[in-house]
Amino acid sequence: MLAAVILLWGLAFAAIKQVTNEGVSWAALTVWRFVLGSGIFAVFLAVTPRARVRVERKDLGPLIVLGFLGFTGYHLFLNYGEATGAPSGSAALIIAAAPAFMVVLAVTHLKERLPASRVLGLGVAFLGLGAMVLLNPQSLQLGLSPALAAIVPAAVMAAFYAVYGKPYLRKYPPFTYVAYTMFAGTALLLPVAAWNGPSTVTDLGRLTAAGWAALLFLGIFPTVVAYGLWFRVLQRIPASAAAPYIYVSTVVALLGGLLLLAEPITATMVLGGAMVIGGVYVAQRDGH
């Protein structure tokens, strides 16, 4: 299951770039990706009675918030960043900082201790994140990248979605939990579709066969299959044990950008990415 998640999430970054490169706005891409994903989950729930678990009234509000964090907000920021110039590989490296924010949440929310190794690892990871956002991709000179900076909130939201969502797996099966939060996230995209106006629909007319393939791939595999498998994994093993494997998806994203989109691997990607992944690795090991 982890291998499937790694492959599908890694390739998603190149697919997002392919669709936005063809003139589809970041808003329209986000809307249609999750309309498609929600439709598939609706069919899944319709044909799988055991997956239709009644939502407790006290869970309704939190599930809506989690839907915003995991789908509406996360993907709007990510798609906006890639649409405005962030290479798919760099975007994946920014998202790779999410486990660092998860460690911070574990300390502040779960009251876990913060030993020196974690302080060191977090410091290196956040310095690497800053290097990718604040340094010129080629020359390593200061030069803010607004496109990459826009993706940072997505990494924070991913951490919140994982940490605060895991307890609900005791009540709801993984695919059911993802379906419910995705329904909420998709509903929250309706104002975005209205704000974007007719181009939400007309942008689709710009897609080539490759663009349609990328959009359908995004709506089905990284959205439905990978999210469901990811939470099945989190149901069975600790998040801290599963998270390091997701770094392999960053390598997949880098290779996908290089081979599918001819994106170069720049100096800041090497330096900042190594610091982010190395720092989070040290923070998660906790000295063991």
Q: Are 186 and 38 in contact (CB under 8 A)?
A: yes
Asked if the model's pLDDT at residue 43 lies above 70, the reply is: yes
Instruction: Specify which residues 142 forms β-bridges with.
Output: 135
pLDDT of 288 over the 60 cut: no
Mean pLDDT of 259-269: 86
pLDDT digits (tens, 9 = 90+) for 165-188: 888 988 999 899 999 999 999 999
pLDDT category of residue 240 using cuts at 50, 70 and 90: low
Q: Give residue 124's pLDDT.
A: 84
Q: Does 229 have pLDDT greater than 60?
A: yes
Rounded to 5 degrees, φ, ψ at 173 are -60, 150
In the chain, the amino acid numbered 228 is G
The model's pTM: 0.86
Q: Dihedral (C-alpha) 104, 108, 109, 111: value to the nearest 10 degrees?
A: 110
Per-domain residue ranges of the chain = 2-285
Question: In degrees, to the nearest 5, what angle opens at C-alpha 88 toward C-alphas 16 and 152?
Answer: 95
User: What Rg value do the Cα atoms of the chain yield, rounded?
Assistant: 18
pLDDT of the residue at 273: 82
pLDDT digit string, tens, across residues 200-218: 999 999 999 999 999 999 9
Q: 143 is written with which tokens?
A: 């030069």
Can you tell me the mean pLDDT for 138-162?
84
pLDDT digit string (tens) for 64-121? 999 999 999 999 999 999 999 888 988 888 888 887 787 777 777 666 666 777 778 7
pLDDT of 138 reads 65
Q: What percentage of the chain's residues is helix, strand, coil (to nearest 5)? A: 80, 0, 20
Q: Is 72 helix (H, G, I), strand (E, B) or coil?
A: helix
**What is the per-residue pLDDT for 132?**
81
Closest CA to 91 of 263, 231, 280: 263
For residue 1, give both structure tokens: 């299951």
Which residue type sits at 116? A
pLDDT at residue 112, rounded to an integer: 61
* Residue range 31-49: mean pLDDT, rounded: 95
Looking at per-residue confidence, does 155 or 266 come out higher? 155
In 3D, which of 214, 221, 262 has the Cα closest to residue 22? 214
What pLDDT sits at residue 111? Answer: 64
Query: Where is average pLDDT lowest: 7-11, 26-30, 120-124?
Result: 120-124
Asked whether 62 and 178 are in contact (CB, 8 A), the reply is: no
Higher pLDDT, 184 or 134: 184
